Amino acid sequence: MGIRNSVEIICDYSECKAGQNGQRVVLLWNKEDVDSGKTQAPPEAQYLVIFNQGGVTKSFCCQLHAAKYFLPPGYEIKQTPVVDISTRKSVEPWTEPSPDNGQEDQ
């Protein structure tokens, strides 16, 4: 006989509609099975934001919902666009010697 713990996470953001059928996100898994490697936690678990606020645990399905929960009404939340720098030519000033090698003409 053993004790098995189930982990159930419900997004605390009241307007969360990212779950199935437009419901709040609910994730459920067995802690012992995940810890032992028998199964994996749901893929959505990698985005969870969980913290303790005044002795009360708050959980959110993503950073955006955590931000919306804590910001006062009227604040606009924008995600910074990702800029792909892998296609940009890198120019390091230390790889090419300067024509005067730091010497001034006298």
Question: Distances from the Cα of 85 to the Cαs of 2, 54, 82, 88, 90, in angstroms?
Answer: 52, 41, 9, 5, 9
- Residue of 73 and 90 predicted with greater confidence: 73
Query: What is the structure's pLDDT at 58?
Result: 92
Structure confidence at residue 96 (pLDDT): 57
What residue ranges do the domains of the chain occupy?
A: 1-95
pLDDT digits (tens, 9 = 90+) for 12-58: 888 888 767 777 778 888 888 888 888 888 888 888 899 898 999 99
Taking the C-alpha atoms of residue 43 and residue 87, their distance in angstroms, rounded to an integer, is 30
Q: Say which range, 44-48, 72-76, 85-89, has the weakest mean pLDDT.
A: 85-89
pLDDT given at position 98: 58
